[in-house]
């Protein structure tokens, strides 16, 4: 999962690209790099031929670490007279986190450089062949193989007499065709962006996302400026129109005009511009100390956004679900837990047999998928590779796809037969909070609409949004969770037990604590306690219970007493106190939506634990916001 970015236009390219990379940092922040085309008319012995484009040097700078942590940038970088460049923020897949392995990677003669998002699954074979051909490698990355392969394809291009041979081994020929031929040999999900020293940008997509943003038209068909990126958010304030590049397409600038090519057929294809209104996207903390707390506090807003969705769309989808043969919900990570809660709500309220599957491991289902089935994918980015791969297979088998996605123009929403957008606003913290809450609130409402009780469902969510708002503005609640966080943050093992509507809630609480505190937390069904977990119950072991006044209440209280009897420290999230709780985290009684209420204190608790430990709350170690590689 990396972030790629490119810019060509009248503005200072380095500043635009650095800002874009900061907005893409959630996709990976091991290291970052930038390459700029530098106007250099004093290049010795060359008078650029008219129409040949301005010859430029490429200036490349790379750093280990997160771009967001850089306080002062290299002065030269900011003052360079450059109007074109590319950038990359990395989540290492092949090759350690070093400056050498950081992107962009340059051709041997520095005539072009490249950044990649994805994994070249056949890079060892390609590397062996290239080594046999005499190419040298400086890095352990799969990315460098793409660069050398393009060089090799370049060397096979029919030579055109060049007006001036700048350097004996200067690569001539058509970079575009070389990129295209090399790209066709790559296996795996890869998106690349290439900057050449004529100030040209070429990008190709197969898998990881690629969006192009266009500034106002300098003249008909010629945009004044062009942005390339892994997501829309990173250039949102500067553009009105976007073009989403599909798998198997290349995009390049030709005399400042945008051309899109079908890679296989090598034919240019028409494209349409999509309007976006992300200008209002606030990507600042707005007074909060971390994005995570800001985004948790936006939970009431996101639930109201669920209510703002077009009810007709819900009804059409509800009808389709009632007719469906099999219904699957699918996701990875937090979205996978949301998928499971959505399936729960479809069963319990919609009375339909929905089952959740794990995005990264559903091979055993492939033979069962077929026409008449529906697969529902909740996803923040809409780009999770594991899930996309399953959706593509399911679609080919005639399964109808539904998605509930937060990033406009994302692959999942573009491939869906039923598209829902959470409109939760940008979620910057790698740990998903408000989007998870949005996803399960949407699943609840969908269940209610299917049962013909959509109105009641909307009423309940409206009240829930108000209750969560009250809960989050109370200093007393934050103080209680902060004090509890201090006690738990230095613990070793934390258990979370829940049942029925709260089972996925304690699993999500587990994920939040693990992601933010790097502590081993374990969310398990309360009913499983006596089958294995009880052996670990002893004095001082913290056990968090999410409790609702529902059919599972007595069973859960039995489990509370059983761990209590073995000396464990019991923390109860519930509307009412209980004599067996050592710590009670009171929440409003929100009836059918109790589980959605219960996730809020767990998210806040996980937040304060991460803060207590001094961790990078918005960018926890080793993980990224969007997993666009398998």
Which residues belong to the active site?
2, 625
To ligand BG6, the closest distance from the beta carbon of 47 in angstroms equals 51
User: What's 183's DSSP letter?
Assistant: H
In the range 350-379, which residues lie near ligand BG6 by CB under 6 A?
A: 379
Among 432, 552, 569, 598, binds ligand BG6 (CB under 6 A): 432
From the list 328, 324, 323, the residue with the least C-alpha distance to 339 is 328
If binding is defined by CB under 6 A, does position 504 make contact with ligand BG6?
Answer: no
* Stretch touching ligand BG6 by CB under 6 A, among 186-194, 260-268, 333-341, 415-423: 333-341
Token pair 């002893």 is at which residue?
538
- Kindly give the residue spans of alpha helices, DSSP state H, lying in 453-565: 454-473, 475-488, 503-517, 553-564
| Phi and psi angles of residue 261, each rounded to the nearest 5 degrees, phi first | -120, 140
**Distances 585 to 96, 250, 578 between C-alpha atoms, Å:** 43, 54, 11
Nearer to ligand BG6, 152 or 625 (CB): 625
Task: Give the separation between CA 509 and CA 604, rounded to whole angstroms.
Answer: 10
CA–CA distance, 192 with 457 (Å, rounded to integer): 45
The answer to whether 468 touches 299, Cβ cutoff 8 Å, is yes
Q: Does 334 bind ligand BG6 (CB under 6 A)?
A: yes
What is the maximal distance between C-alpha atoms in the chain?
A: 89
Applying CB under 6 A, among 89, 380, 437, 504 the residue interacting with ligand BG6 is 380
- Reported as type and span, the H/E element at residue 64 is strand 56-64
Q: Which of 381, 416, 422, 467 binds ligand BG6 (CB under 6 A)?
A: 381
For residues 38 and 629, which CB has a smaller minimum distance to ligand BG6 in the complex?
A: 629
For the sheet with 569-574, list strands across it: 520-525, 493-498, 542-546, 569-574, 583-586
The candidate with the shortest Cα–Cα distance to 111, out of 162, 63, 51, 50, is 162
Q: Tell me the residue nearest to ligand BG6 as measured from the CB.
A: 333
- The single-letter DSSP state of residue 357 is E
Q: Which residues contact 601 (CB under 8 A, 6 or more apart)?
A: 471, 477, 481, 573, 585, 587
421 is a site residue for ligand BG6 (CB under 6 A): no
Examine residue 299 and tell whether it contacts ligand BG6 (CB under 6 A). no
Task: Kindly give, in sequence order, each residue whose CB lies less than 8 Å from that of residue 388, ignoring residues fewer than 6 positions away.
Answer: 207, 411, 412
- 178 contacts ligand BG6 (rule: CB under 6 A): no
Among the listed residues 117, 208, 340, 384, the single contact to ligand BG6 using CB under 6 A: 384
Neighbours of 149 (CB within 10 A): 24
Minimum gap (Å) between residue 262 Cβ and ligand BG6: 28
Print burial letters for 340-365: b (CB count within 10 Å at least 16), e (below 16): bbbbbbbebbbebebebbbbbebeeb
**CB of 186 or CB of 627, closer to ligand BG6:** 627
Distance CA 249, CA 264 (A): 8
When asked if residue 388 is in the footprint of ligand BG6 (CB under 6 A), the reply is: no
Closest contact distance (angstroms) between CB of 357 and ligand BG6 is 14
Contact region for ligand BG6 (CB under 6 A) — 35-43, 250-258, 468-476, 621-629? 621-629
* Contact status: 226 vs ligand BG6 (CB under 6 A): no
Minimal distance, residue 194 CB to ligand BG6, in Å: 27
Among 430, 440, 560, 610, binds ligand BG6 (CB under 6 A): 430
**Of 379 and 460, which has the nearer Cβ to ligand BG6?**
379
Give whichever of 139 and 379 is closer to ligand BG6, judged by the CB atom. 379
132-151: which residues touch ligand BG6 (CB under 6 A)? none
402 within 8 A of 343, measured Cβ to Cβ? no
Q: Which stretch binds ligand BG6 (CB under 6 A): 494-502, 520-528, 611-619, 622-630?
A: 622-630
Number of residues that bind ligand BG6 (CB under 6 A): 15
Given 333, 350, 516, 572, the residue binding ligand BG6 (CB under 6 A)? 333
Q: What is the smallest separation between the CB atom of 377 and ligand BG6, expressed in angstroms? A: 8
Comparing CB distances to ligand BG6, the nearer of 37 and 382 is: 382
Q: Which residue has tokens 């790559």?
A: 186
CB of 520 to ligand BG6, least distance (A): 18
Distance CA 313, CA 332 (A): 25
From the CB of 378, what's the least distance to ligand BG6, in Å?
Answer: 7
Among the listed ranges 53-61, 135-143, 229-237, 330-338, the one in contact with ligand BG6 (CB under 6 A) is 330-338
627 binds ligand BG6 (CB under 6 A): yes
Binding site for ligand BG6 (CB under 6 A): 332-335, 379-381, 384, 430, 432, 623-627
């Amino acid at each position: 999962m990396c972030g790629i970015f490119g810019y060509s236009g009248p503005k200072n390219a380095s500043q635009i690209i650095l800002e874009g990379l900061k907005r893409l940092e959630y996709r990976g922040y091991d290291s970052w790099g930038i390459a700029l085309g530098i106007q250099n008319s004093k290049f010795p012995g060359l008078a650029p031929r008219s129409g040949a484009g301005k010859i430029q040097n490429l200036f490349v700078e790379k750093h280990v670490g997160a771009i967001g942590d850089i306080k002062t940038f290299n002065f030269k970088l900011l003052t360079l007279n450059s109007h074109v460049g590319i950038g990359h923020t990395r989540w290492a897949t092949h090759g350690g986190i070093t400056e050498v392995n950081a992107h962009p990677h340059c051709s041997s003669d520095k005539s072009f450089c490249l950044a990649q998002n994805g994994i070249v699954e056949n890079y060892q074979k390609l590397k062996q062949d290239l080594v046999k051909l005499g190419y040298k490698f400086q890095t352990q990355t799969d990315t460098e193989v793409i660069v050398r392969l393009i060089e090799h394809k370049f060397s096979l291009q029919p030579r055109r007499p060049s007006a001036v041979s700048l350097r004996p081994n200067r690569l001539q020929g058509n970079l575009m065709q070389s990129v295209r031929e090399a790209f066709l040999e790559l296996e795996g999900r890869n998106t690349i962006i290439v900057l050449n020293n004529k100030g040209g940008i070429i990008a190709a997509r197969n898998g990881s996302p690629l969006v192009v943003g266009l500034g106002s038209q300098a003249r008909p068909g010629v945009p004044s400026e062009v942005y390339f990126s892994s997501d829309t958010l990173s250039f949102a304030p500067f553009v009105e129109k976007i073009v989403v590049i599909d798998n198997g397409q290349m995009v390049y600038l030709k005399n400042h005009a945008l051309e899109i090519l079908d890679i296989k057929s090598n034919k240019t294809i028409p494209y349409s511009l999509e309007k976006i209104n992300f200008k209002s996207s606030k990507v600042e903390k707005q007074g909060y100390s971390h994005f995570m707390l800001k985004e948790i506090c936006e939970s009431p807003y996101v639930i109201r956004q669920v209510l703002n969705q077009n009810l007709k769309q819900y009804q059409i989808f509800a009808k389709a679900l009632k007719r469906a043969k099999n219904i699957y919900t699918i996701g990875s990570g937090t979205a996978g837990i949301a998928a499971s809660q959505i399936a729960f709500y479809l069963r319990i309220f919609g009375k339909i047999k929905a089952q959740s599957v794990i995005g990264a491991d559903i091979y055993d289902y492939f033979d069962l998928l077929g026409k008449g089935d529906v697969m529902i994918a909740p996803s923040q980015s809409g780009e999770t590779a594991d899930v996309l791969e399953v959706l593509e297979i399911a679609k080919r088998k005639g399964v109808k796809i539904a998605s509930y996605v937060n990033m406009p123009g994302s692959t999942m929403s573009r491939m869906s037969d039923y598209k829902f957008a959470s409109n939760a606003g940008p979620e910057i913290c790698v740990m998903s909070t408000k989007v998870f809450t949005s996803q399960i609130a949407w699943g609840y409402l969908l269940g209610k609409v299917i049962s013909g009780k959509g109105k009641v469902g909307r009423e309940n969510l409206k009240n829930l949004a108000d209750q969560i708002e009250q809960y989050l503005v109370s200093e007393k609640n934050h103080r209680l969770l902060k004090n509890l966080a201090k006690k738990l943050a230095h613990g070793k093992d934390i258990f979370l037990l829940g049942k029925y509507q709260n089972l996925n809630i304690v699993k999500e609480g587990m994920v939040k604590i693990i992601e933010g505190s790097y502590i081993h937390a374990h969310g398990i069904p309360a009913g499983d306690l006596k089958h294995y977990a009880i052996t670990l119950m002893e004095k001082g072991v913290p056990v968090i219970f999410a409790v609702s006044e529902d059919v599972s209440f007595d069973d859960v209280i039995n489990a509370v007493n059983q761990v209590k009897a073995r000396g464990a420290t019991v923390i109860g999230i519930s509307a009412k106190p209980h004599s067996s709780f050592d710590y009670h985290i009171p929440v409003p009684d929100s009836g059918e939506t109790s589980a959605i209420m219960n996730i809020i204190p767990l998210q806040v608790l996980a937040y304060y634990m991460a803060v207590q430990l001094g961790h990078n709350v918005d960018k926890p170690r080793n993980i990224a916001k969007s997993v666009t590689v398998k």
